[in-house]
Each structure stands twice: as C-alpha cells, then as structure tokens.
Structure 1
Amino acid sequence: MMGVVKPACRLTAATLLTLCGALAGCNVAPPYAAPKMALPASYKGTGPFAPAHPEDQLLQDDWWRMFGDEELDRLEASLNRANPDLQAARETYIQARDMVGEARSQLYPQLSAQASGSQNRQSLHRLFRASSTGPSEEASLDYGAALSWEPDLWGEIRNRTNFAKANAQATAAMVASARLSLEVELANDYMALRGLDAEHAIYTKTLSYYGEALKITKLRFSGKIAAGLDVERAENQFASAQAADTDVETQRAVLEHAIAVLAGESPSTFNLPPEGLAHLAIPVIPTGVPSALLQRRPDIAQSERQMAAENAAIGVARAAFYPNIQLSANAGFEDDAFGGLASLPNSLWSVGASAMLPLFEGGLRRAEEQQSRSAFAQAADNYRLTVLQAFREVEDQLVLTGKLASEYRQQQDALTAALKVQDLSLRLYTDGLDNYLNVTVAQMAALTADLATTQVQSRRLQAVVGLIGAVGGGWSTADLPTPEQTIPFDPLALHNEPGDVRKPD
C-alpha cells in the first residue's frame, strides 16, 4: 500500500492501541492456592530423631558426612559431580527454562528485516500483452521491515509463560528429587557393602575356628577316641562356611560395581578396600514437625508446582473464548535498480489489524477448558497422594530405626550367649565329655547369631539413610528457583550474562 494515512485511520489505530493497553492486564485464569491438608501434630513412630522447628534447615546438603566415613564422603561428592543420570536431569531443567523463554517471547512485538532481489523476463507472446513496446526484462529490488504484535488482552500468553515457569520449577524440584534419590541409593549400597565386609570378616574368623575344630576331630579320630562321623561333620561345617563366604564376596563385587556407576566411575578400575561397620556412626536425625515435611520434600514441591502449571493452563483454555487481535506493520522500498532504491517515491508501507472471535466450533473450546480443569484436578489428587506417601515413608523409617535399635541390642545378647555355648561345647568335646553333634549345633548357632548381629547393624544404618531421604535430606523449598529465576535470559540483551544458564544443585 502506498500513500498517506487518512486522519480517520489514525484515530482508529490510536483507539485500538488504547483499548489494547487497557485490557492488557486481564487474566482469566482462576486464582491459585495449594490445597490444605490436615496434618498431625507429631510423628507416631519412634527412632533416633530430634524435634526441630519448621523454619530450621534440618540437615545440610552433605548429610552423609554425619556417618563419619571419608570414603562415603568422596563417593557422594563424585556422584554429584559425575553421575550421568544426574547430569542428564540437570539438562532437563535447562531445557525447561528455555521453554519459559520461548513462551515469554510472545509478549514482545516481533520485528524482522527482509530484502529480496530478482531479474525477471516475460514472454513476448504472453496472453493479453498490453504493449509490444514495453520492456520484456526488468529487475526488482526491495528491502524493508515487518512488525507484528499480538496484544495479550486475556492473559493467554502470560498464562502460557506462567505454565512454563511453574513447569520449570517442577523440573528443578524433580532434579533435586533425583539427586536425593541417587545419594540415598549410593549410601544404602555403601552400607550394604560394608555389612558384607563385616560378614566376610566373621566368616574368616569362623573358618579359623572351624579349622581348629577339624584338627581336633582328626586327632581324636587318629587316637581312636572319636568316630569318623565327627570328622565328616567338622569337614561339612568348614566347607559350608567357605561356600557361604564365597557367596558374600560375590555379592560384594556386584555392589561395588553398582557403587562405581553411581559415582560416575568405571567398574573395571574402581576398587573399595574392605572395611567393617564399626567406624560408622549412627547419627541423630532431626525430623522436625510433620508440617515442615511439605517444605522439605522435593517431590512434594514438584507436585505442587505441577498443580500451579495446570492452573495456568486453565487460563490459556479460557482465553480462547475471547477475541484474538493481531497488529502488523510493514515498511520498505522497492525499485528496479540500486540507484533510486532508497528514495521517498519508491517507499511503501502498510499497517493493519485483524480480529478473530470464535462463534461456533462444535464444542471445541468448552472441551479444551473442561480437559484443562480435569488435568488440574488430577494434579491435585497426585499432590495429595505424594504427601500421604511422604508421611508413610517417614513413619516407616522411624519405626525401622527404633525397632532395629532394640533388635540390635537383643541380638548382641544372643551372640554373647551363643559364643559361650560354642566355646564350652568344644571344650567338653575335647575333654571327651560330650559328642561332636552338640559342637556342630553350637557352632551353627554362634555363626548365625554373629551374622544376624552384623546384618541388623547394616540394616540400622540403611534405615537411618532411608529416614534422611524420607525427610528430604538437606533440601528446602527455599532452594527452589523463583518464577523470575526460571527466565533464562533478558530478551533485550545481545549476549547471555554470566550465570544465565543455571543448573539446580
């Protein structure tokens, strides 16, 4: 279009812009609030925990240091630095932030520059040729700029942006949940491996004891004061213990490989020197009051942010019921040569506006809104389920830590008695006052009690690790990025500022 804009057109455009500015603050999304849940005043379970106030940071990020094991500290640090699963999860958050940038970009006018050039020739025998004297070949050159903008009158773009922001926050919480899960898995595997080291030490000690017993039976048999059955029983005990010890070593090797992968290292070159459980401390875990759990668990925060995202999606669906308005403008120059391309007579421009109001679409918009409301209700149900499961996990671990502590003390008493019976029965057999069957029974009872004591101690440590994971480790909703922090960069900046690409810890 070429020419001068009439005053009436200016008035219409000005009126339209004023109306757009007045309506730009409209938002048809429903008000959002996280659901309220009835929470108990205290936990029912018992265990090695200490009360804490909701505003306290219950645990530190490096919670594994509470166990006092330098090797575990090194492995957890390696996990956070090099675990492939965790690194991939962090990249998911980077992608979610970029989706925020994509959605937010639609709030701004879209400006583009364009240029084109062509050399054109027409046929001398074209149909309805007006003049035989006109040129049959001519160049066409043009350049200009285009501007388009969709005023966000009903909050559709803002709600899409809010959806992306809440989704990015949920992704950040997911990364924190994945990190905690991997840390807990590594600590659990480490405690189990150290438990197997302790079992191997028990078998080593037991095999030495069984070897001495086997020598005694052979000496008594050679002196014709004992039956050959005693020797066979002693040999059976010794071989069975060897086989069980080999199985323990096999389990340890498999666990060592799993720990290597979690730590981001190759199982082929990874090695953990054997060490028992005695050096590992059983820490006191501050669980806090139940209401604090909602701020400590990243999976609960993830579910809540997903609810916020679905609430924004309702606003997007509702905005589709209202008129959609788009403004556009184009300006530039066109000529058949470079010489006069930028002259005013060769200028061209156009301005325009379009509006679209859905009148009848067979229930499409209503179905979309109903679907978005159902998705929000589903997210709310998932949130409540996540909260209930979180409380169940805490209560489970509190019961385990409390009961396993009692079981460990009881098992120690059983072990003390079993070792006394074992020593006494062997002395009686050596002195010829008892048969070897009683010795065998006593040895089996002593080994079983010793292994059970070690296994209970290993389970105690794993239960404490589970309790730490159940209360959220050292995470807090304060670690969650704010909606503004999910914006990847300033759209007016030509280059990313340092720290624009943020990965959640």
Structure 2
Amino acid sequence: MMRYFKASRRLAGATLLSLLVPLAGCSLAPAYQTPPMLLPASYKGTGPFGLANPEAQLEQSDWWKMFGDDELDRLEASLNTVNPDLQAAEETYTQARDIVGEARSQLFPQLSAQTFATQNRQSENRLFRAGGSGPNVEGSVGYGAALSWEPDFWGEIRNRTNYARFNAQATAAMVASARLSLEVELANDYMALRALDSEHAVYTKTLGYYSDALKITQLRYSGKIAAGMDVERAQDQLSTAQAADTDNEAQRAVLEHAIAVLAGVNPSTFSVPPEDLARLTVPVIPAGVPSALLQRRPDIAQSERRMAAENAAIGIARAAFYPNIELSADGGFENSAFGGLGSLSNSLWSIGASGVLPLFEGGLRRAEEQQSRSAFAQAGDNYRSTVLQAFREVEDQLVLTNKLASEYDQQQEALTSALKVQDLALRLYTNGLDNYLNVTVAQGAALSSELASVQVKRRQLQATVGLIGAVGGGWSTADQPTPEQTVPFNPLALRRSPGDVREPD
C-alpha cells in the first residue's frame, strides 16, 4: 500500500514559501508610456456640431434614438440582442479572459490528487535472477497528492499575466468597436432604405403626372393639333420612369434583406413598412474637443492596450536571461498491500532545489528580446496611425455634415424652380404655345431634381451617423474593463459564478 504525497517542482514547504514570496516582486518590463501626440485645440472642419468639454459626450447606449424613428430603435435593439456576429465577437472577450485565468494560475500553487493500483509479475527467467528466490507476483496500491509552485523572482509569470490582461482589454475594446461598426452599418442601411421609400413616393407622384401628360398628348393628337411624336415622347417618359421605379423596388428588397441579417432576423420573415425619409431628424452632435477623442474611440483604446501588452512581453523576454529556480518536495507511504497503510516504517520523502542559468544559446535570448522590443515599437506605430485615421474620419464627417446641410437647402431651391418650370411648360403645351420637347426636358429636370433632393438628405443623415461613429458613439475608456476585471473568476472559488460563460443557445 502506498500513500503518496508529491510536490514535484518549485516547493520546499510552507515556511520556505513565506520566505520566498517577498523576493518574487521585481518586474523587468520597461516603464510604460503611450507615444506623445500633438493634438489640435479644435477641429478644422465646421458643421452642425457642438464643441464640448470631455464630459459632454453622446449617450453611451441608444445613440440612434437621436434620429427620432421608432423602427430604427427597434432594429438597433434587435442587433444588440441577437446579432450573431456581435455575439461571436463577445465570445472572443470571454476567451481572452480565460487566457488571463490560465496565465494567472501559475502564480498559485498547483494541487492535485492521485491514486493507483497495479498487479505485477516478473519473468522467472529474467536477467540476473541468480537462483530466483522471492515472489514473482506482487501488487502495489497507493494514493496521494501533488503540490507545485514556482517563485516568480523575475516577474516572468506576472508579465505573462499582464500581457494576457492587456490583450483582454484590447479585445474588449475590439468588441466595442465591432458593436459600433455594426450599429453604424445598420443605421446607414436604414437611411438608404428610407431614401428608396422616398424615391418610390417621388416616382409614384411623377408617374401620375406623366400619365396625365400622356393623355393630353393623345387628346391633342386625336384632334390633329399635335404630332404623333409628342405621344411617343410622353410614352417614353412614362415607361422610363416606371422602369426606374421597378429597379428602386428591387434595390429596396435587397437592402431590406441586409438589414434583416444585421438585426439577426431571417430575411424570409422580415419586412420594414415604408416610411418617408423626411420623418428622420438630423440631430446636433457634440463632437467634443480633439483631446477627448483619445478616450472616446474604442479602436484607439484597442491599439493602446496592444502596445501595453507588447511592453509586458519585453519583461517576459528579459526574464529569460536570469536563472529559473525550481523547488521540489516528495513524500508519501508505500506498501505492497493495504495493511499498514499509514505506518511510519512505510513512509518516504525527499526535498530538493534546482536552478538553470542560460550561458550560451547562440543568441536565442537576445534575439527574443530584440523581437519583443521591435513588436512594441510596431504597436506604437500602429497606435499613432490609428489616432491619425480617427482624426481624419472626424474631420471628414464634420465637413460633410456642414456642406451637405448647405447643399440640401440649395437643392430644395432648385427643386422648387424645376417644378414650376415643369408645370409652366405643360400649360404652355396644352394651350398650343410651345412644343412637347420643352415639356419633356422640364419633366426630366424636375424628376432629377426631386430625386437629387432625396439623395442629399440621405447623405446628410448618413454623414451624421458617420460623425457619431467617428467620435466613438458615446463610448469611453471608462467603459473599458480594468485589468482586475479581466480575471474571469476567483481561483479560490469552488464554483463557477453565474454568467462567467454564456451557455450555447
């Protein structure tokens, strides 16, 4: 019988553990700081936005409610609840937290239990038996435990844990960025859908106008006061508009399917009732001061946390230059039968320590350190690039929101004139004072102008959505989990906390 207690590697008892813990306190990672960025005092672009202090931000959630559309609210809520791409992104954060747990587990002693039972027989003609005295068959049974621990003298384990923590924070920011991207995409698609609804309304009104014009040409032709060419021109105008309206309906159906997928609904069972684009309001967006953008963009936070992780990786690489200390202690009881299980005469034990110091490895450690430093420099370059791209996006959207607002007013004036010319040309033709070619030109100009007004309104709304996305959609680094919050659970807890892992549907 054997009762076996084993501490393989890294432990020489509780007393030695208490002495070594204070020693395991240094870290070889460099002091971390983000690259300095020269930020402007204000944005160059101008537009319908409000300069604000860093606290004056968009609402963290439900920013789309600023447009005042209940259907858009419902779709965005559905996206945040059941969109499979978003849920898959959220699972990456769950996995990143578990990686933190794996790395952090090496800071704690590793305890396990074991048991075994064997029955053994040796050959009667084995080598060097020398007469063959003694039994050929004997059993061995036992149970015990194993305990191990590695003192983190050079901070390697803690830097590995920090590396995982910072990457988990970056993953959380990536999830926030993915969420915002999907919300913006859905809002843009919704604006485009409503623009198609408005265009359909324009075509419906125009088709009625063209039908009346066709009847007038037919009456004048039957009275022999107009040429047959006038009828054909009127018919061409009507048929062309009908074809364009049919294409509009096809585009709407395809766009509706895309919205269904974003909302996490099967396109076969999904529909959006038609509504006019004019129902959507253009909100005023608090763009804030430029310095606040660094705390409001999840992609910037993601890049910054990747850089912090690479800084911790330098500490991991530098720790490899120092000795790796391992402590071990073995003890237990062994016997050939169950009798005398805890007898002191059957006990055994051993304690020991070992250390490994790399002397020559062909430049392996140096290459690893240089690689980690280069990776940190690359992460810093990526961070600066992300910041510059963020400012470009904000400036783009500010310019668009401003110019499109003016363009919409100008287009409305042009539309008013085009409609007047259309009505005037038809009245002149009806009274025999003008030819139908001028009517055709005026009708085409009026239709183009009305469709252009709808498109400018759509672009104005989409530019506003783009500005919301460019300034972070109300997100801030305060919403990012702290390094401590990335730890998935308390390792001393016996049960998994509810919600640690989302169960499969």
- State the TM-score, normalized to the length of structure 1: 0.95
Q: CA deviation at 1:426?
A: 0.2
Q: Aligned residues: percent identity?
A: 78
User: Could you say which residue in structure 1 is the equivalent of 2:159?
Assistant: 159
d(CA) in 2 for partners of 1:58, 1:84: 26
User: Could you say which residue in structure 1 is the equivalent of 2:112?
Assistant: 112
Query: Is the contact between residue 141 and residue 337 of structure 1 (CA under 8 Å) also seen in structure 2?
Result: yes
Structure 1 counterpart SS, 2:277: coil
Q: CA deviation at 1:349?
A: 1.7
Query: Is the contact between residue 56 and residue 286 of structure 2 (CA under 8 Å) also seen in structure 1?
Result: no
Query: Is the contact between residue 167 and residue 309 of structure 1 (CA under 8 Å) also seen in structure 2?
Result: yes
Structure 1 counterpart SS, 2:266: coil
User: Could you say which residue in structure 1 is the equivalent of 2:471?
Assistant: 471
User: Could you say which residue in structure 1 is the equivalent of 2:37?
Assistant: 37
Q: CA deviation at 1:205?
A: 0.3
Q: CA deviation at 1:114?
A: 1.9
Matched, 1:276 2:276: yes
- The CA deviation string for residues 17-66 of structure 1, in whole angstroms up to 9 with x for no partner, is 57733431111000101112000000111111111111334333100000
User: Could you say which residue in structure 2 is the equivalent of 1:9?
Assistant: none
Matched, 1:296 2:296: yes
User: Could you say which residue in structure 1 is the equivalent of 2:433?
Assistant: 433
User: Could you say which residue in structure 1 is the equivalent of 2:203?
Assistant: 203
User: Could you say which residue in structure 1 is the equivalent of 2:403?
Assistant: 403
Q: What are the within-5 Å matches in structure 2 for residues 294-443 of structure 1?
A: 294-443=294-443
Structure 1 counterpart SS, 2:362: coil
Matched, 1:455 2:455: yes
User: Could you say which residue in structure 2 is the equivalent of 1:238?
Assistant: 238
Q: Which runs of 5+ in 1 are unaligned?
A: 3-11
Query: Is the contact between residue 62 and residue 474 of structure 1 (CA under 8 Å) also seen in structure 2?
Result: no
Q: What are the within-5 Å matches in structure 2 for residues 60-71 of structure 1?
A: 60-71=60-71
Q: CA deviation at 1:131?
A: 4.5
d(CA) in 1 for partners of 2:193, 2:18: 71
Aligned positions, number = 493
Structure 1 counterpart SS, 2:141: strand
Task: Choose 105-114 or 290-299, whichever is displaced more.
Answer: 105-114
User: Could you say which residue in structure 1 is the equivalent of 2:257?
Assistant: 257
Judged with a 3 Å threshold, the aligned counterparts in structure 2 of structure 1 residues 14 and 167 are, in CA distance, closer, same or farther, namely closer
d(CA) in 2 for partners of 1:252, 1:112: 62
d(CA) in 2 for partners of 1:207, 1:173: 50
User: Could you say which residue in structure 1 is the equivalent of 2:5?
Assistant: none
d(CA) in 2 for partners of 1:339, 1:61: 69
d(CA) in 2 for partners of 1:18, 1:79: 52
d(CA) in 1 for partners of 2:398, 2:324: 56
Structure 2 counterpart SS, 1:140: strand
- The CA deviation string for residues 149-176 of structure 1, in whole angstroms up to 9 with x for no partner, is 1110000000000000000000000000
Letter in 1 for 2:53: H
- The CA deviation string for residues 232-264 of structure 1, in whole angstroms up to 9 with x for no partner, is 100000000011111111111111000000000
- State the TM-score, normalized to the length of structure 2: 0.95
Letter in 2 for 1:309: A
d(CA) in 1 for partners of 2:306, 2:143: 46
User: Could you say which residue in structure 2 is the equivalent of 1:172?
Assistant: 172
User: Could you say which residue in structure 2 is the equivalent of 1:5?
Assistant: none
Structure 2 counterpart SS, 1:143: strand
Structure 2 counterpart SS, 1:81: helix
- The CA deviation string for residues 395-421 of structure 1, in whole angstroms up to 9 with x for no partner, is 000000000000000000000000000
Structure 1 counterpart SS, 2:86: helix
d(CA) in 2 for partners of 1:254, 1:134: 87
d(CA) in 1 for partners of 2:143, 2:131: 29
Letter in 2 for 1:233: R
User: Could you say which residue in structure 2 is the equivalent of 1:93?
Assistant: 93
d(CA) in 2 for partners of 1:278, 1:365: 65
d(CA) in 2 for partners of 1:64, 1:304: 28
Structure 2 counterpart SS, 1:49: coil
Letter in 2 for 1:307: M
d(CA) in 2 for partners of 1:82, 1:21: 47
Task: Choose 300-309 or 494-503, whichever is displaced more.
Answer: 494-503
Query: Is the contact between residue 57 and residue 286 of structure 2 (CA under 8 Å) also seen in structure 1?
Result: no
Query: Is the contact between residue 39 and residue 291 of structure 1 (CA under 8 Å) also seen in structure 2?
Result: yes
Q: CA deviation at 1:112?
A: 1.9
Letter in 2 for 1:116: F
Judged with a 3 Å threshold, the aligned counterparts in structure 2 of structure 1 residues 284 and 218 are, in CA distance, closer, same or farther, namely same
- The CA deviation string for residues 192-225 of structure 1, in whole angstroms up to 9 with x for no partner, is 0000000000000000000000000000000000
- The CA deviation string for residues 94-147 of structure 1, in whole angstroms up to 9 with x for no partner, is 000000000000001112222221111112222211443311111112222222
Query: Is the contact between residue 104 and residue 157 of structure 2 (CA under 8 Å) also seen in structure 1?
Result: yes
What RMSD in Å do the two structures reach over aligned CA positions? 1.7
Structure 1 counterpart SS, 2:107: coil
d(CA) in 1 for partners of 2:107, 2:15: 20
d(CA) in 2 for partners of 1:43, 1:442: 43
Q: Which runs of 5+ in 2 are unaligned?
A: 3-11
Query: Is the contact between residue 106 and residue 157 of structure 2 (CA under 8 Å) also seen in structure 1?
Result: yes
Query: Is the contact between residue 64 and residue 73 of structure 1 (CA under 8 Å) also seen in structure 2?
Result: yes
Structure 1 counterpart SS, 2:243: helix
- Structure 1 runs of 4+ with >6 Å offset: 12-16
Task: Choose 68-77 or 145-154, whichever is displaced more.
Answer: 145-154
Structure 2 counterpart SS, 1:271: coil
Query: Is the contact between residue 144 and residue 331 of structure 1 (CA under 8 Å) also seen in structure 2?
Result: no
Task: Choose 346-355 or 91-100, whichever is displaced more.
Answer: 346-355
Judged with a 3 Å threshold, the aligned counterparts in structure 2 of structure 1 residues 113 and 350 are, in CA distance, closer, same or farther, namely farther
Matched, 1:490 2:486: no
Query: Is the contact between residue 13 and residue 329 of structure 2 (CA under 8 Å) also seen in structure 1?
Result: no
Q: CA deviation at 1:13?
A: 8.4
Matched, 1:267 2:267: yes
d(CA) in 2 for partners of 1:316, 1:242: 69
Structure 2 counterpart SS, 1:106: helix
Q: CA deviation at 1:343?
A: 1.3
Matched, 1:58 2:51: no
